[in-house]
Amino acid sequence: MKRSQIQVLTDLNQLENVLEWFEQFNALPVTNEFWWQCQTALAEGFTNAVRHAHHNLPRTTPIDIEVTVLSNWFEMRIWDYGQPFDLQSKLKSISQEKYNPLERTSGRGILFMDRLTDELDYSRTPDSRNCLLLRKKIG
């Protein structure tokens, strides 16, 4: 098992730092496609935390990110201090729309994360934060 954590500010400019930190996991024996999918899902999750969960919070509000590599799973968690949000209802709503969801002006990030991972969950934690869990099966 390998695990690492990083804490960054609520600032889209921090995405570069997050992706540089994430590079430590690029040595895993996974395909380029797998790596790209995880990298994209992480970037979308972080961007959503900044733009949506923390949109009315100070820039100094921390966002915690943790990556854990297990024998069969690659797990990414992003904690934010925003209001609770029903991710599954939003995904259901997007999937029932009559037009191409990629043409939407909002909600595309959620759709990308859902399609690029095997498990996607967003839940409230006892410390009044939200945790976005992105899991992808290795192999």
Mean pLDDT, rounded, for 87-109: 71
**Mean pLDDT of all residues in the chain?**
92
Residue 132 bridge partners (DSSP): 78, 122
| Residues contacting residue 48 through CB under 8 Å, at least 6 positions apart | 109, 110, 132
**DSSP code of 53?**
I
Residue carrying structure tokens 């994360």: 113
Total-model pTM: 0.91
> Quick check: 103 pLDDT over 90?
no
Considering 21-25, 27-31, 88-92, the range whose residues carry the highest mean pLDDT is 21-25
Angle, helix 87-95 to helix 108-116, in steps of 10 degrees: 100
> Quick check: 106 pLDDT over 90?
no
Question: pLDDT tens-digit profile of 107-135?
Answer: 678 888 999 999 999 999 999 999 999 99
Secondary-structure class of domain 2-137 per CATH: alpha beta
Mean pLDDT, rounded, for 69-90: 94
> Quick check: 97 pLDDT over 60?
yes
Spatial distance between the Cα atoms of 103 and 96, rounded to a whole number of angstroms: 14
What pLDDT score does 137 carry? 97
What pLDDT score does 132 carry? 98
Strand 130-137 to 119-124 pairing: antiparallel
Spatial distance between the Cα atoms of 76 and 66, rounded to a whole number of angstroms: 6
> Quick check: 65 pLDDT over 60?
yes
User: Within 10 Å of residue 110's Cβ, how many Cβ atoms?
Assistant: 24
